[in-house]
């Protein structure tokens, strides 16, 4: 899957076609591929339905091309062209290189060029094209809420990236609304995973666990577009530690406010970090009423940790780990579609309360 999604190396294509014709062509392609090489077996993991603007589909194709081993088995791209009234279809099957005695996975790509008029009933086009009994994941990186809503009865999972939406509050509301109907995998949430792991690890030693309930200040610096990721991290701490958060308010270039913990209030501050070139978080800084202080910074080779004990002893170290990059995040999102994280919804609910 390279270049422009609307112009992939189609083995089969037809103008003014129907979903039934595309589905029949796919079956024939699979049969032909298997006849040509019996070692080619179709991957059967999940259906990924991607709704994109046709003119921006190249960027999405490039992202999908780099997800590596987390590639879905059947990808159905609905590329939306302004003013189009008919459907054009293309289908292709790509297989890994075969080694003697080993099987190679074959993955199917279907591209359907459609118009805006099709979006409200996109389910009737996509339904015949998904592999029955596999999980179906919907991803609409260019918006198209009407198309996603139409596909919800077919889908078990919706992939969103809350940092894609210009308005953070709207992004979280949309994620919350989708989460009522399907399992939501939010790439903004996945960007915070290494940070959540490290905060959890810092407070994991038995003698430090009481300090979790003494957190008194939390400051997060984030890529200017990644306010949603920062809010979700605060929401996670609030949900897991039973804080009662208040709506954050603008304060100079940041947003700030507080959450009420059982023993004390927690001062919260989310600050954009314009110097950060990649999406996600730049720094997380925590302070406890007992005098402990932890700061995690994005750095080469992993997160750079700085820690001061209650007695003032300072330590620094690197928590090893490679950056996953945007393609890695998307691949992780596809993988997570088959898992269930019970902590996202509670974190999202708290983040919606906090959203300025």
Q: Which residues bind another protein (CB under 8 A)?
A: 41-46, 69-73, 101-103, 105, 194, 196-206, 209, 212, 237, 240-241, 300-302, 305, 309, 313, 315, 317-323, 334-335, 338-339, 341-344
Q: Write down the number of H helices and E strands in the chain.
A: 10, 18
Give the count of beta carbons closer than 10 Å to the beta carbon of residue 323.
Answer: 14
In angstroms, what is the minimal distance from the CB of 256 to another protein? 23
At 199, give phi and psi (nearest 5°).
-65, -40
In angstroms, what is the minimal distance from the CB of 38 to another protein? 12
- Residue 183's contacts (CB-CB under 8 Å, 6 or more residues apart) are 156, 157, 158, 337, 340
Q: Are 170 and 143 in contact (CB under 8 A)?
A: no
In angstroms, what is the minimal distance from the CB of 251 to another protein? 27
The rounded distance, in Å, linking the Cα atoms of 82 and 79 is 10
Which of 153, 321 has the CB closer to another protein? 321
The rounded distance, in Å, linking the Cα atoms of 187 and 40 is 32
In angstroms, what is the minimal distance from the CB of 47 to another protein? 13
In angstroms, what is the minimal distance from the CB of 341 to another protein? 5
- Residue 61's contacts (CB-CB under 8 Å, 6 or more residues apart) are 1, 2, 3, 4, 5, 8
Which of 70, 293 has the CB closer to another protein? 70
Residue 234, H or E segment = helix 227-240
Tokens of 330: 């998307």
Which of 177, 318 has the CB closer to another protein? 318
Label residue 69 left, alpha or beta by phi (over 0 means left) and psi (-120 to 50 means alpha). Answer: alpha
In angstroms, what is the minimal distance from the CB of 333 to another protein? 11
Which of 18, 323 has the CB closer to another protein? 323
In angstroms, what is the minimal distance from the CB of 149 to another protein? 27
């Amino acid at each position: 899957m390279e270049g422009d999604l609307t112009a992939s190396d189609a083995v089969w294509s037809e103008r003014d076609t129907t979903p039934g014709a595309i589905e029949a062509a796919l079956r024939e392609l699979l049969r032909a591929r298997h006849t040509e090489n019996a070692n080619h077996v179709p991957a059967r993991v999940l259906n990924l339905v991607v709704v994109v603007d046709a003119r921006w589909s190249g960027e999405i194709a490039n992202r999908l091309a780099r997800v590596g081993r987390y590639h879905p088995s059947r990808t159905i791209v609905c590329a939306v062209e302004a003013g189009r009234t008919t459907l054009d279809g293309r289908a292709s099957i790509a297989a890994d290189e075969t080694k003697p005695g080993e099987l190679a996975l074959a993955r199917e790509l279907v591209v359907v060029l459609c118009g805006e008029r099709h979006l409200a009933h996109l389910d009737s086009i996509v339904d015949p094209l998904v592999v029955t009994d596999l999980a179906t994941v919907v991803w609409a990186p260019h918006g198209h809420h009407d198309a996603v809503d139409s596909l919800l009865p077919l889908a078990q999972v919706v992939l969103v990236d809350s940092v894609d939406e210009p308005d953070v509050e709207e992004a979280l509301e949309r994620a919350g609304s989708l989460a009522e109907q399907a399992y939501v995998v939010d790439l903004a949430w996945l960007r915070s995973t290494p940070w959540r792991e490290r905060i959890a690890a810092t407070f994991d030693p038995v003698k430090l666990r009481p300090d979790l309930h003494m957190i008194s200040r939390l400051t997060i610096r984030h890529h200017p577009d990644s306010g949603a990721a920062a809010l979700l991290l605060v929401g996670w701490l609030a949900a897991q530690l039973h804080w009662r958060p208040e709506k954050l308010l603008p304060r100079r270039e940041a947003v700030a406010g507080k959450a009420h913990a059982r023993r004390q209030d927690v001062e919260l501050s989310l600050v954009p970090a314009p110097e950060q070139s990649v999406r996600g978080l730049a720094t997380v800084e925590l302070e406890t009423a007992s005098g402990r202080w932890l700061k995690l910074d994005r750095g080469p080779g992993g997160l750079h940790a700085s820690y001061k004990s209650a007695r003032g002893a300072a330590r620094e170290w690197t928590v090893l780990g490679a950056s996953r990059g945007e393609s890695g995040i998307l691949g992780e999102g596809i993988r997570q579609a088959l898992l269930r994280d019970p902590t996202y919804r509670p974190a999202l609910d708290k983040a919606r309360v906090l959203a300025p």
